[in-house]
Structure 1
Amino acid sequence: MAGEILDNKGRGDASWQWPSIHPEGRKFGLIAVAVSLFFLIALDWEIVGWPLMLLSLGVFAFFRDPERVVPQSDTAIIAPADGLVTQIAEVEPPLELQIDDGSGYPGLPAAPVTRISIFMSVFDVHINRTPIGGTVRRVVYIPGQFMSADLDKASEENERQHILIERTDGLKLGFTQIAGLVARRIVPFVKPGDIVAKGQRIGLIRFGSRVDVYLPAGTDPRVLIGQRTVAGETVLAEVGQRGLIEGIAQ
């Protein structure tokens, strides 16, 4: 049940359930079903209708919105996206997250931090969630290209949306939703001034994309390149904790 407390001391109860379909995707799924039925019933073209019906199921699956159990530790930074960690690099945050935007709330410092890039394929859940709780200070949309999202330059050249969250203790964290080769729209669920809980749904990117997370200074990642993340559940880092980790692919 949504909102129920689950922990590692045996409290709570969990069972498997079909994930719901986000309202943003229901119209696309219903359109696909209607087209399929037109070919199957009106034209009796089964060779076209049945493949389209399978495609309709794929559309509904793309917009699935499963419940997640969000770790509530004050130090935990949570993955904003389902997908594959493809890059971990030391970079400066985007200018849009640094410069004075006139809001009265300062952006991120102009100094190198660790960026974790999570690539989402068309088979991943595409609902994005906030890595920390706090107040949304910036939502900056930038038009751009639609090159493959796993390229490093996609962070600067693709269509993207920057989001800056500030906690009550002043800690700021920025992350960026990046459209990919197939993606054609970034859909935000939040705006500046909104107060969000850790792991809350903040938007989606249609049909394959990437999310970059800029860790606070003095914080090292707790995930590895090649590792898969689960939005709202996987701990990317612990604020202020240093120390690199290694893994073996097997």
Structure 2
Amino acid sequence: MFHKEGQTIILTTFFIVSILILSAQFYVTPLWLRWGIQIVAIAILILILQFFRNPKRVAVKSFDEILAPVDGKVVVIEEVEENEYFKGKRKQVSIFMSPLNVHVTRYAASGSIKFSKYHPGKYLVAWHPKASEENERTTVVINTPKFGDILYRQIAGALARRIVNYAEKGDSVQQGDDAGFIKFGSRVDLFLPLDCAITVKLNQKVKGAKTCIASFVDTNEKQKTI
């Protein structure tokens, strides 16, 4: 199954690859060169197909958990100042996606969209410290029943030149559903409440709509046990 955002690129690539293979078959005489052109053309098609793959994921929905919005590797876990929306301290968890990862963005939690904004910007490498504030990006805030407002940010990288964001203010969204797509490698930042419990570690590989990133901590119950 392939993501709808890749349909045009897949069809165009298939058309070009078909022409290259047929042209090489009929017009390229050296056998080694003919095979070389055909193998490279097929390899390019396979890479495009695997990039736009969209495996079916059924999330086990829970108001007590924040699920990974994308596939990738956890590269940041720290307390930071989030200055665009919260203007205060939050726990940041960042997930880096290589070109080989599934690039579908999925809603990390169920709730309603309170904020959704696109920012044009630079194309620094996705792991650059300033990428979150200077690169092309989208910022989305979901109001959730347990965690309150959580923010996720799709960030373009050096190769990613197209961010697709489906979230619109006022939408009701379900955990694990399709929230967008980032083409050709990038990262997603999550900004979560300080009192939540982070359940992943640095360099851990995560799966969108499957891996729990953070769990809800009932501060009232915690105070009762002290």
Q: After TM superposition, is the score higher than 0.5?
A: yes
Normalising by the smaller structure, the TM-score range is 0.7 to 0.9
Tell me, in whole angstroms, the C-alpha distance in 2 between the residues paired with 1:69 and 1:169. Answer: 21
User: Any conservation in 1 of the 2:90–2:191 contact (CA below 8 Å)?
Assistant: yes
Cα distance, 1:75–1:41 mapped onto 2, change above 3 Å: same
Equivalent residue in structure 2 for 1:167, among 125, 144, 149: 144
Does 2:6 align with 1:25?
yes
Tell me, in whole angstroms, the C-alpha distance in 1 between the residues paired with 2:189 and 2:212. Answer: 15
Tell me, in whole angstroms, the C-alpha distance in 2 between the residues paired with 1:68 and 1:223. Answer: 20
Partner of 1:37: 18
TM-score w.r.t. the length of structure 2 is 0.88
User: Any conservation in 2 of the 1:142–1:160 contact (CA below 8 Å)?
Assistant: yes
Equivalent residue in structure 1 for 2:105, among 128, 132, 135: 128
Does 2:40 align with 1:51?
yes
Deviation of 1:91 (Å): 0.7
Cα distance, 1:152–1:190 mapped onto 2, change above 3 Å: same
Structure with the bigger percentage of strand: 2
SS in 1 for 2:41: helix
5+ residue gaps, structure 1: 1-19, 99-107, 243-250
User: Any conservation in 1 of the 2:146–2:216 contact (CA below 8 Å)?
Assistant: no
Q: Which has the higher contact order (CA 8 A, sep 6+)?
A: 2
SS in 2 for 1:203: strand
Deviation of 1:40 (Å): 1.6
SS in 2 for 1:152: coil
Question: Deviation per CA, 1:204-228, whole angstroms, max 9, x where unpaired?
Answer: 1000000000112311311000100
Tell me, in whole angstroms, the C-alpha distance in 2 between the residues paired with 1:221 and 1:42. Answer: 55
User: Percent identity of the aligned residues?
Assistant: 33
Partner of 2:184: 207
Deviation of 1:49 (Å): 3.4
TM-score w.r.t. the length of structure 1 is 0.80
Q: How does 1:1-250 map to 2 (within 5 A)?
A: 20-44=1-25, 45=28, 46=34, 47-95=36-84, 98=85, 108=86, 110-168=87-145, 171-240=148-217
Question: Deviation per CA, 1:66-104, whole angstroms, max 9, x where unpaired?
Answer: 112313222101110100001111112241xx2xxxxxx
Cα distance, 1:87–1:139 mapped onto 2, change above 3 Å: same
**Deviation larger for 166-175 or 187-196:** 166-175
**Deviation larger for 225-234 or 184-193:** 184-193
Counterpart of 2:68 in structure 1: which amino acid? A
Counterpart of 2:88 in structure 1: which amino acid? A
5+ residue gaps, structure 2: 29-33, 220-226
Structure with the bigger percentage of helix: 2
User: Any conservation in 1 of the 2:63–2:110 contact (CA below 8 Å)?
Assistant: no
Tell me, in whole angstroms, the C-alpha distance in 2 between the residues paired with 1:57 and 1:138. Answer: 37
Deviation of 1:43 (Å): 4.8
Tell me, in whole angstroms, the C-alpha distance in 1 between the residues paired with 2:95 and 2:83. Answer: 17
SS in 1 for 2:88: coil
User: Any conservation in 1 of the 2:112–2:143 contact (CA below 8 Å)?
Assistant: yes
